[in-house]
Chains A and B, each alone.
Chain A
């Protein structure tokens, strides 16, 4: 069944869109990533113009994140207090990020910068996560007791403004989470994504939050960051396609529920290996696009009025 998208001005298969939304929704519920880094390239691939794909992708991420968060709330795996601190940092960061984005677009090389940031960050995070989780899995298999370092005191613990994050079982300063939120916010605005795939590992490795709480908390703050992005795109570029968004959302919300329930059955280490492999696969695809000679050297772009 073909459907005409009023803003994108292309006609695409409705079931294909439903499928893409569903796939990304499952990943969203499973890993706590918004899926923006996956949905945007997929939409390019089926012929949706880049500006529409980025803005509408953000809208879809809002819906699947809400669906995911509600499922996590019922399992009490959302640290709302931590989420709010991260979000405050995130909004401050994305304001800076939007400024950097505009500066780079004026210099004319935004596409390249975005692609390079994707390759560097996805590659780095994917590799680190894969290495770490494989090591843990091997250790568990050989039977040696894992070294649990829950309370290793570093300079982080001497910072002021300490706050109790009960759901995460942490008593730390708000400065590290705020900083993580801000850093992710900057990157998210430049890369046009929610930033879950950076946020999740940062919360596990930098803040020492338990994996169980990380996903729900990440989704919680993604709702607001992508909501803000969607609204800004609708306001400045009029590039949100509601018809496209609704089809993706229909698939996405269903997928997110399935993903969350699937996530409850898998163990944390397996989840991490899967996410690491996924991140590395997307990274590899983008790197190949940059390195291999494209089939068509020329591309068309609408003149911004």
Chain B
């Protein structure tokens, strides 16, 4: 029995020794959305840890991704009916990240094979899960494309072909531009090491994006005590209206 487990351990250890591993860090693992939040830069950096010399089987490539919380979304399309433009068809996309950025050492199709992309879901289109469009919609991919196009324009989806810098096949880093219209939640950064267009190692870490201070307070109050929140909104409106009226009267005297 003991020799069996010894062999098992050896079998596990052998490929691990030959492998290249990722050691990584983040410039910040906690992003606070304050009242004057204007977006943030995120630096993902790291190194490749090896026990052996650099293998000469193909060039090392690195892909780094940052993904925001996911959720369903409705994509609507307008068409002309009786001379006016109306929303006529819609597709509910089951799951799409609110933010997704990919940075690689070279163009993605050059670094990553299609099967590996399918397996690890790395490129932007792979991140969007849409099962079953309604019967009257024949071209559901057009809706997914539109979703990607709109979010790219808003800076929420990004794909940088040479956004990751790799030095001496060991040290790498990438900077991500997190926009001001960031949604709160748990974000994930993933680092993939690739050779011959195949993923040979990966690691992931979490970033917590949270509203803080007055932002947090208002958001929680609106969710948990809507009646109180509504009353507060009306009270403040009344107060402001009265204060302005009084201030102007004082000014005229």
A-side interface residues toward B, CB under 8 Å? Answer: 1-4, 6-7, 9-11, 47, 59-60, 62-71, 74, 109, 111-112, 227, 230-236, 238, 240, 242-243, 245-246, 249-250, 252-254, 256-257, 289-294, 296-303
A227 touches which of B211, B234, B249 (Cβ 8 Å) = B234
B150 contacts across to A, CB distance below 8 A: 296, 298-300
User: Does the CB pair A234–B222 fall under 8 Å?
Assistant: yes
**Nearest-CB distance from B98 to chain A (Å)?**
9
User: Does the CB pair A63–B181 fall under 8 Å?
Assistant: no
User: Does the CB pair B215–A297 fall under 8 Å?
Assistant: no
5 additional A-B residue pairs with CB within 8 Å, beyond A256-B241, A289-B85: A6-B219, A234-B233, A236-B226, A242-B232, A242-B233
Cα A294 to Cα B197 in complex, Å, equals 41
Pick from B71-79, B106-114, B115-123, B130-138 the stretch touching chain A.
B71-79
Q: 23 A-B residue contacts at CB 8 Å?
A: A2-B37, A4-B34, A59-B234, A60-B237, A63-B240, A66-B238, A66-B240, A109-B86, A230-B237, A231-B227, A234-B230, A235-B227, A243-B35, A253-B243, A253-B244, A253-B245, A294-B78, A297-B78, A298-B75, A298-B76, A300-B147, A302-B71, A303-B73
User: Does the CB pair B75–A3 fall under 8 Å?
Assistant: no
- For the complex of A and B, the 3 pairs showing the least CB-CB separation, nearest first, are A66-B241, A234-B230, A253-B244
Cα A227 to Cα B240 in complex, Å, equals 14
Cα A67 to Cα B71 in complex, Å, equals 42
B33 touches which of A4, A227, A245 (Cβ 8 Å) = A4
User: Does the CB pair B35–A62 fall under 8 Å?
Assistant: no
Is B242 at the interface (CB under 8 A from chain A)? yes
- A4 and B180 contact, Cβ closer than 8 Å, known pairs A67-B240, A257-B244: yes
**Nearest-CB distance from A166 to chain B (Å)?**
24
- A62 and B241 contact, Cβ closer than 8 Å, known pairs A4-B215, A298-B146: yes
Is B26 at the interface (CB under 8 A from chain A)? no
B-side interface residues toward A, CB under 8 Å? Answer: 33-39, 71-80, 83-87, 92, 143, 146-147, 149-151, 180-184, 211, 214-216, 218-219, 222-223, 226-227, 229-234, 236-238, 240-245, 248-249
- A257 and B248 contact, Cβ closer than 8 Å, known pairs A4-B34, A245-B233, A245-B236: yes
Cα A9 to Cα B149 in complex, Å, equals 20
B180 contacts across to A, CB distance below 8 A: 2, 4, 10-11
Q: What residue in chain A is nearest B143 (Cβ atoms)?
A: A298
A7 contacts across to B, CB distance below 8 A: 218-219, 222
User: Does the CB pair B36–A303 fall under 8 Å?
Assistant: no
Cα A65 to Cα B150 in complex, Å, equals 37
User: Does the CB pair A235–B230 fall under 8 Å?
Assistant: yes
A230 touches which of B39, B77, B234 (Cβ 8 Å) = B234
User: Does the CB pair A257–B73 fall under 8 Å?
Assistant: no
A238 touches which of B143, B223, B236 (Cβ 8 Å) = B223
B233 touches which of A240, A252, A289, A300 (Cβ 8 Å) = A240
Q: What residue in chain A is nearest B87 (Cβ atoms)?
A: A111
Cα A9 to Cα B45 in complex, Å, equals 29
User: Does the CB pair B84–A291 fall under 8 Å?
Assistant: yes
B74 contacts across to A, CB distance below 8 A: 300-303
Q: What residue in chain A is nearest B219 (Cβ atoms)?
A: A6
- A293 and B222 contact, Cβ closer than 8 Å, known pairs A234-B229, A234-B233, A249-B236: no
User: Does the CB pair A290–B234 fall under 8 Å?
Assistant: no
User: Does the CB pair B34–A299 fall under 8 Å?
Assistant: no
From A62, A242, A296, name the one whose CB has the most chain B CB atoms within 10 angstroms: A242
Cα A32 to Cα B214 in complex, Å, equals 34
User: Does the CB pair B215–A6 fall under 8 Å?
Assistant: yes
**Nearest-CB distance from A25 to chain B (Å)?**
9
User: Does the CB pair A11–B37 fall under 8 Å?
Assistant: yes
**Nearest-CB distance from B240 to chain A (Å)?**
5
User: Does the CB pair A231–B230 fall under 8 Å?
Assistant: yes
B77 contacts across to A, CB distance below 8 A: 297-298
B92 touches which of A231, A246, A254, A303 (Cβ 8 Å) = A303
A9 contacts across to B, CB distance below 8 A: 181-184
Q: What residue in chain B is nearest A298 (Cβ atoms)?
A: B146
Cα A298 to Cα B137 in complex, Å, equals 14
From B33, B34, B83, B244, name the one whose CB has the most chain A CB atoms within 10 angstroms: B244
User: Does the CB pair A3–B36 fall under 8 Å?
Assistant: yes
B79 contacts across to A, CB distance below 8 A: 297
B84 touches which of A62, A235, A290 (Cβ 8 Å) = A290
Q: What residue in chain B is nearest A243 (Cβ atoms)?
A: B218
A234 contacts across to B, CB distance below 8 A: 222, 226-227, 229-230, 233
Cα A253 to Cα B234 in complex, Å, equals 14
From B181, B229, B234, B242, name the one whose CB has the most chain A CB atoms within 10 angstroms: B234
Cα A218 to Cα B216 in complex, Å, equals 37
Cα A213 to Cα B128 in complex, Å, equals 58
- A230 and B85 contact, Cβ closer than 8 Å, known pairs A62-B241, A66-B242, A67-B240: no
